[in-house]
Chains A and B, each alone.
Chain A
Amino acid sequence: MTTVEKPPVAVDERVAPKSLVNRLVARPEIGALIGALVVFLFFSIVADKFLTMGGVATWLDDSATLGIMAVAVAMLMIGGEFDLSAGVMTASTALLTAMLATRVGLNVWLALLLSLVFALGVGALNGWLVIRTGLPSFIVTLGTFLALQGLNLGVTRLVTNSVQVSGMRRTDGYESSGFVFASTFDVGGTSFRISIIWWVGFAALAAWVLVRTKFGNWIFAVGGSAPSARAVGVPVARTKILLFMTTAAAAWLVGSINILRYTTAQANEGIGLEFQYIIAAVIGGCLLTGGFGSAIGAAIGALIFGMARQGIVFANWNSDWFMLFLGIMLLAAVLVNNTFRRRAERVRR
């Protein structure tokens, strides 16, 4: 191509320098950030223990495992799909790791590796089924959700004659793997859970991938308009399958954190959590229709969850109120997202 005289890269007179407010408003996570601030201030005032170091450690811990999943689910939702099996998958991986380590006698690291392979396989199966059948992922993963739920209970009962697997403490490699997935670190004399680091690290990595890499570009494209993406050569099937596998791998991470921390896995855990992940992602600015959203937003959505859930406990209210709060929060988030998005598009016009 011939070099053309480039207009000095420059400021077009039609673009008024965007004010800070307008620039912020164009971001998907801004609603969640404001929500988090409001919830934080509210509970700081009504509950004394909320702002103590111990209090902070508690609600950060609650947010962490939810946050890891919310970030992965947000990526999948931006890619235009849902995964209802994500919640149960955290239990399946924990159970599998525990059974392999306690019943088969494998080293914990090897058990972790095998259950990761299992998780990736189920994720790939979810993705493959969705792509191959063209059915909504909602229905396909509802199927895997139920199947996994049945497997969790059935296999656990077969192997242990009860509905739980315990005894992780006596296994080989428990110490070292526990250090990686379930230890604590001290800040100013208060111990914080290592899961918080996993959460922050995973959210940062996901945000980087989404906004700064080719693959991230493809995620937005397959969620925004799969036919257009396919027409310009984006590997739509591969992108979506990898997203399902990412969600399953995140579920494995959370399952591993749980089993090494509590050393016991219940066969009925994880049911219902899948909706919490989707809710956190939506509060974080993800559109249900795909193609728009943010990993950082989803992490903040999980933070709101954790702060509210623990804040209600600190304030000595009945935890029943949490569901009411959740419903209102979700409705508010959807409305705010809608308004902000419309505003974002108008500001840029």
Chain B
Amino acid sequence: MTALIEVDGVGKSYGSVIALRDVSMVVNAGEVTCVLGDNGAGKSTLIKILSGVHQHDAGHFFVNGKLVKFGSPREALDAGIATVHQDLAVVPLMSVWRNFFLGSEPTVGFGPLQRLDRRKGRETARSALADMGIDLRDVEQPVGTLSGGERQCVAIARAIYFGAKVIILDEPTAALGVKQSGVVLRYVAQARDRGLGVVLITHNPRHAYPVGNRFLLLKRGASLGSFEKSEITIEELTQQMAGGAELEALEHELREVTN
């Protein structure tokens, strides 16, 4: 089986700043690939390359085994790679179903009489959301009245409905509470079980470990290693992310302070 996405030794520099160096990763259908790293580790540069916002200037990027270099987010979208941004996901004052179809509205009629198919819009949005296990009371309510987790879910369901094969989730749990994070992670698992490839960007190993199949650790623009779930425990993951030995030194120092 060819991987949905395969990235081989990609790099990117902005002027003299090397933001990403020799990073490789794989995303398979029905699997979650987690990208972990602290702030400034190069996570956003990597997803910007995957989602077509920026172009890599070293290495190779394959989608379904074919070499690609996206010129725009639209091209990535057309290749089936949808990105759900943390805060760019929805328009708060618009209703759930209008958000769901924004940019790809269903219409009836022709020419100047072309108009929104509101019944179809409402019903499709409701059933697509129900498919994902998101049971909304009323698809006419403004998205602003939903909780943060539910908003992310609407954006995920929209990406799936419009034919995404790979969903990139940029820090979906960063601004959420414990319970809301759980809600989002449940939908991430749901998307995975429906055969999509998921790229989950986070700096929280506790969110990544339960749903992830493989883990890519980034630090200062370079890869610290890529692990299968069987190769690593959550403790090791946390340790690695925080910089291993550095954390131990810090703990030691803290102990001295408190003593």
Contacts and interface: CB of A to CB of B under 8 A. Distances in A.
A213 B88 CA distance: 23
B137 A212 contact: no
Interface in B67-82: 73-74, 77
B115 A234 contact: no
A300 to B, nearest CB: 21
B253 interface: no
Given A227-B88, A348-B142, A233 B130 contact: no
B94 A220 contact: yes
Given A4-B127, A6-B127, A7-B130, A217 B102 contact: yes
Contacts of B85: 231
B123 A9 contact: yes
Q: Which of B77, B102, B131 has the most chain A CB within a 10 Å cutoff?
A: B102
Contacts of A186: none
Interface stretch (B31-39, B103-111, B239-247): B103-111
B66 interface: no
Contacts of B104: 232-233
Q: Is the interface of A mostly helix, strand, loop or mixed?
A: loop
Nearest to A212: B115
Contacts of A14: 137
Interface string B88-124: 1111111000100111110100000011101000010
Contacts, number: 92
Nearest to B140: A348
A1 interface: yes
B102 A232 contact: yes
Interface string A165-206: 000000000000000000000000000000000000000000
Interface residues of B, number: 38
Contacts of A292: 93
A87 B131 CA distance: 51
A228 B90 contact: yes
B91 A221 contact: yes
B91 A15 contact: no
Given A1-B131, A4-B131, A221-B102, A228 B91 contact: yes
B144 interface: yes
B235 interface: no
B88 A228 contact: yes
Contact of A214 (B107, B123, B145): B107
A43 B256 CA distance: 80
A31 interface: no
A132 interface: no
Contacts of A6: 123, 127, 130
B98 A220 contact: yes
Interface string B39-55: 00000000000000000
B89 A217 contact: no
Nearest to B123: A9
Q: Which of A212, A216, A218, A224 has the most chain B CB within a 10 Å cutoff?
A: A224
B141 interface: yes
B251 interface: no
A344 to B, nearest CB: 8
Nearest to B100: A232
Nearest to A344: B142
A295 to B, nearest CB: 15
B138 interface: yes
Nearest to B160: A1
A15 B138 contact: yes
Contacts of B89: 228
A81 to B, nearest CB: 16
Contacts of A227: 88
B118 A212 contact: yes
A221 B77 contact: no
A225 interface: yes
A256 to B, nearest CB: 22
A348 B115 contact: no
18 contacts: A1-B161, A6-B127, A15-B137, A212-B115, A213-B116, A214-B107, A217-B98, A220-B94, A221-B91, A221-B94, A224-B92, A225-B91, A228-B91, A228-B102, A232-B158, A348-B145, A349-B141, A349-B145
Closest 9 pairs (CB-CB, A-B): A232-B103, A233-B103, A224-B91, A348-B141, A291-B93, A214-B105, A225-B91, A212-B115, A224-B93
